Amino acid sequence: MSVISRIGSKLGLFASVALMVACGSLVSGVRPLNAEYCDNFLIYNMCARDTNRDGIVEVVYFTDTREVFMYHPESEGNYPSDLGLHRCAMPMDEELVATTNRVFYVDDSTTFLEKQDIKGAMMLKYVTNMPEVTACNLRAEQEAANT
């Protein structure tokens, strides 16, 4: 076997493995339909963004202020340049990341029930975090009033 054919076969094997790993890294091996999903949650208009289109949410932000208020723990400090950071921003837990990831696969064929299931699961997690966010906002407002 010549040197070129040995290198070619190793390169082909490497490329095949790399392609399988890349495809397997997507949720269910399916490419997400959306990189950004916006909706009304409670009284806020919010968007979830998948900055690298791998099906995993990096940030969730308010549409009116364009401030990140929740982020994937691995994205901390690495936010899209068109977004600011809310003073009470916090990392998402694994369960919220998994739930939020589902919005990137919503399309016209997604049933109303499925959309409501996703939205309801996200709202439950947001409501769970509300006392901490409310306390953070109150502290910030008191500090601002005292200066």
Q: Are strands 44-49 and 36-41 parallel, antiparallel or unpaired?
A: antiparallel
Q: So where are the chain's domains?
A: 1-30, 31-146
pLDDT digits (tens, 9 = 90+) for 105-130: 998 899 999 999 998 998 888 888 88
Which one is predicted more confidently, 88 or 15? 88
Please determine, for residue 35, whether its predicted confidence score (pLDDT) is greater than 80.
Answer: yes
Q: What's the pLDDT at 61?
A: 95
Please determine, for residue 42, whether its predicted confidence score (pLDDT) is greater than 50.
Answer: yes
> Which residue has tokens 């890294």?
25
The b-or-e profile of 18-29 (16+ CB within 10 A means b, else e) is eeeeeeeeeeee
Please answer whether residues 104 and 32 qualify as being in contact, where contact means their C-beta atoms are separated by less than 8 angstroms.
yes
pLDDT digits (tens, 9 = 90+) for 4-14: 444 444 333 33
Please answer whether residues 58 and 50 qualify as being in contact, where contact means their C-beta atoms are separated by less than 8 angstroms.
yes
| E strands present in 30-109 | 36-41, 44-49, 59-62, 67-71, 84-91
Burial of 83 by CB count in 10 Å (0-12 exposed, 13-18 middle, 19+ buried)?
A: middle
The percentage of the chain sitting over the pLDDT mark of 90, rounded to a whole number, equals 54
